[in-house]
Structure 1
Amino acid sequence: MSPWEAVGVFAAGAGAGTINTVVGSGTLITFPVLLAVGLPPITANVSNTLGLVPGSLSGALGYRAELQGQRPRLLRLGGAALLGGLLGAILLLVLPSGAFKAIVPVLIGIALLLVVLQPRLARYLAARGRGPDSADGGVALLAGVFGTGVYGGYFGAAQGVLLLGLMGLLLDDDLQRINATKNVLAGLVNGVAAVFFLFAASIDWTAALLIAAGSVIGGQIGARVGRRLPPVALRGLIVVVGLVAVAKLLL
C-alpha cells in the first residue's frame, strides 16, 4: 500500500466512523476503497469489519448520555445482536459472495419506509391499543435485531438504517436514545464478527489499523453532529443515506 493509498484508507475510516455514528452505512465508504487499493473482496470485508470496531466504541462513548437508563434494553437486545453477528460472520466464509445481494436493497428499503412512517404508525397502533412496547419491543424486535445481526456480521452496509427502522417502530422512545442503542448493537455485531475473523480469516492489518484510527476520530465527530440534529433532520439524513446505500448496492 502506497503512502497516498494509506491516506485514502485512513480518510475513508474517518468518514465511515462519522456516518456510522449518525446513521449507518459507513461500510459503503470503506469497502470500495479497500477494493480500490487491491484487497480481495473477502479480505477487504473482514479487515473493514475489524477496523470499524473502535469507531463503534467511540460513537457509543459519544452517546453515553443518551444511554443512561437503557441497560436492561441493551442486555436483552445485545444478546440477540451477538448471536446474529457470529452467525453472519460464519456465513461470510461458507456462502457464495453474492448470496445476500438480491435481498439487501429490499431490506434497506423497508427500513427506510419504517423510519419515514414511524411517527404515524406509532400513533395508529397506540389508537388501536397495540402501541410500541417502551420496555423492550417484544419478540418482534428481538427477532429483528438477531436478523440484522446476521446481516451485519455478513456484510453490514446500512445495518444501522435497519436497526433504526426496527427500533423506531417498535420502541416508544426518543430517536436520539434509539440511535445511541443502535451504536451499541452495531458495535457488538462488528465486535463478535471481528473476534471470529481473527481466528478464521485472512486480515490485512495495515488496512484494519488505518480504518480503526480514522473511525475513532469519525465516531467522535459523528456523536457531536448527530446529537445536535432534531428528529426531523435525523430522519431526513437516515433516508438520504439509505437511498444512497440502495443505489450503490443495486449499481
Structure 2
Amino acid sequence: MTPWEAAAILVAGAGAGGINAVVGSGSLITFPTLVALGYPPVVANVSNNIGLVPGSITGTWGYRRELAGRSGLLLRLGSASLVGAVMGALLLLWLPEKAFRMIVPALIAIALVLVVVQPKLNRWVAKRRKTEAAHGGALLWGLVCLAGVYGGYFGAAQGILLISLLGIFLADDMQTVNGLKNGLSGIVNAAAAVIFIAIAEVDWWAVLLIGIGATLGGYLGASVGRKLPTWALRGVIVCVGLTAIAKLLLG
C-alpha cells in the first residue's frame, strides 16, 4: 500500500463516518474507494464494514443527549438489528453479491419516498402509536430486522432505511430518531463484523485506516447533525440517497 493509497482510505473513512452519523450511506464513499484501489469487492465490503464500527460508536455517543431515556427502546430494536445483521452477513458469504445488489437502488428509492412523505404517514399511523406504545410494535421490530439483513449484507444507505422506518412508527423528533439510527446501525455493523472476522478474508490495513478516519468523522458528523433543523436534515437525507442510487446504478 502506497502512502497515497493510505491517505485516500483514511480520508474516505473520515467522510464515511461523518455522513453515517448525520444520515447514512457512508459506505458509498469507502466501498468504491477500496474497489478503485484494487481490492476484491467482497474483501472491500467486509473490510469496510469492520472499519466503520468505531465511527458508529462515536456517532451514537454524539447523540447521547437525544437518546436519554430511550435505552429500553434501543435495546428492543437492537435485538431486531442483531438478528437481521447475522442473517445478512451470512448471506453475503453464502450467496452471489450481484443477486442482492440488484434490488438495492429500489430499496433506497422507497426509503427516500418514505422520508419525504413521513409527516403525512405519521398522521396515518397515529392510532397505531396510541395502541402500541412508544416502541412501534411488532411490525417495526420486524421491519428493523429486515433493515438489519440489508445492513449486514451490504450496508450502504441502511441509515436511510432506518430513519424512514423509525420516523414513521415512533413519536420522537428527527434528532432522536437519528440518534436511534446511529445506535442500530452500529449494532448491525458490529454483529456483521464479528462474523466477518471469524469467517471472511479481511484486509486489516484497510480496516485500521477506515476505523481511524470513521472515528473522527463520526464524532464530528454527530456534532454537525445535531444542530441541523428538521427540514435541513430531511434534505440531506434525500440528497445523499439520490447520490447513492446514482452511484449504484452508474458505478
Query: Aligned residue for 1:2?
Result: 2
Normalising by structure 2, what TM-score? 0.97
* Paired residues of 1:123 and 1:131 also in contact (CA < 8 A): no
Q: Counterparts of 1:111 and 1:36 in 2: how far apart (Å)? A: 27
Q: Counterparts of 1:164 and 1:179 in 2: how far apart (Å)? A: 6
Query: Aligned residue for 2:139?
Result: 140
Determine if the alignment matches structure 1 residue 155 to structure 2 residue 154: yes
Query: Aligned residue for 1:53?
Result: 53
Q: Secondary structure at the match of 1:31?
A: helix
Query: Aligned residue for 1:39?
Result: 39
* Paired residues of 2:63 and 2:222 also in contact (CA < 8 A): yes
Amino acid across the alignment from 2:92:
L
Q: Secondary structure at the match of 2:99?
A: coil
Q: Counterparts of 1:76 and 1:125 in 2: how far apart (Å)? A: 20
- After superposition, what is the alpha-carbon deviation per residue over 1:85-131, rounded to whole angstroms, capped at 9, x for unaligned? 011111101100111122211111111111111112212443xx445
Q: Counterparts of 1:55 and 1:134 in 2: how far apart (Å)? A: 31
Amino acid across the alignment from 2:95:
L
Q: Counterparts of 1:221 and 1:31 in 2: how far apart (Å)? A: 21
Amino acid across the alignment from 1:15:
G
Normalising by structure 1, what TM-score? 0.97
Which stretch shows the higher mean deviation, 165-174 or 132-141? 132-141
Shift of 1:248: 1.0
Query: Aligned residue for 2:196?
Result: 197
Is there any run of 5+ residues in structure 2 with no aligned partner, and where?
Answer: none
Q: Counterparts of 1:205 and 1:15 in 2: how far apart (Å)? A: 19
- After superposition, what is the alpha-carbon deviation per residue over 1:220-244, rounded to whole angstroms, capped at 9, x for unaligned? 1101110000101000110110111
Q: Secondary structure at the match of 1:135?
A: helix
Is there any run of 5+ residues in structure 1 with no aligned partner, and where?
Answer: none
How many corresponding residue pairs?
Answer: 249
* Paired residues of 1:53 and 1:190 also in contact (CA < 8 A): yes
* Paired residues of 1:122 and 1:131 also in contact (CA < 8 A): no
Query: Aligned residue for 1:239?
Result: 238
Q: Counterparts of 2:224 and 2:194 in 1: how far apart (Å)? A: 30
Q: Counterparts of 2:117 and 2:211 in 1: how far apart (Å)? A: 35
